[in-house]
Chain A
Amino acid sequence: GIQVEQSPPDLILQEGANSTLRCNFSDSVNNLQWFHQNPWGQLINLFYIPSGTKQNGRLSATTVATERYSLLYISSSQTTDSGVYFCAVEETSGSRLTFGEGTQLTVNP
């Protein structure tokens, strides 16, 4: 099956810093999503981004499908950004999402 690798596994920032999280995948995909898992365990949709670039406030994401990677940018980080960020890919429409191992982000005040 498809492999999804995220880096870095852990990231510690000071409030106000910027960061880039990376997701590599081993095969072509129909769908790619970024999620934030908050401290209560909820998976919050950040981006649906099979290709191209999207922005939502301080967050933006870029997927280069031909090179099989996606990047999540967090600017001016806040303590509420802490949690685990997951990348997940879908190989064909309506099929399972395969998740990466996640990046544990800690933003210190």
Chain B
Amino acid sequence: EPEVTQTPSHQVTQMGQEVILRCVPISNHLYFYWYRQILGQKVEFLVSFYNNEISEKSEIFDDQFSVERPDGSNFTLKIRSTKLEDSAMYFCASSEVTEAFFGQGTRLTVV
């Protein structure tokens, strides 16, 4: 069964460093998303991407964040200068039009 895959599963980074989180969405899907979940809290929307551009972003998605679809299969989230409060589980998701499917997540720890 097709699935969304994310790498790495865990990442520890120093405050101020740049990190890139990678995702391979389901191949025939058109919409791509990043969400995050701070430990013990609900899942929050960051950004959606359609037709090679950002279609919607939340107030969390400020200038330190960027997304890219560098080729036909990968979808990346870059955090330019990480802060302690960026520590969270980051989920990539994709959908054809309706039902969204989530990857297993990348747990980011900023120290």
Residues of A within 8 A of B (CB): 30-31, 33, 35, 40-43, 45, 48, 86, 88, 90, 93-102
Contacts and interface: CB of A to CB of B under 8 A. Distances in A.
Nearest to A47: B99
Contact of A99 (B42, B50, B58, B89): B42
Nearest to B50: A94
Contacts of A30: 98
Contact of B31 (A43, A48, A94): A94
Contacts of A43: 43, 91, 102, 105
Interface of B: 30-31, 33, 35, 37, 42-45, 48, 50, 55-56, 58, 89, 91, 93, 95, 97-102, 104-105, 107
Contacts of B105: 41-43
Nearest to A104: B40
A31 B91 contact: no
Contacts, number: 59
Closest 8 CB pairs of A and B: A48-B99, A96-B45, A43-B102, A99-B43, A94-B31, A99-B42, A101-B42, A42-B104
A99 B44 contact: yes
B45 to A, nearest CB: 4
| Chain B interface mostly | strand
A35 B55 CA distance: 24
A98 B42 CA distance: 10
A7 B9 CA distance: 31
Contacts of A42: 102, 104-105
Contacts of B43: 43, 86, 88, 97, 99
Contact of B56 (A88, A93, A96): A96
A94 B53 CA distance: 13
B13 to A, nearest CB: 18
A94 B48 contact: yes
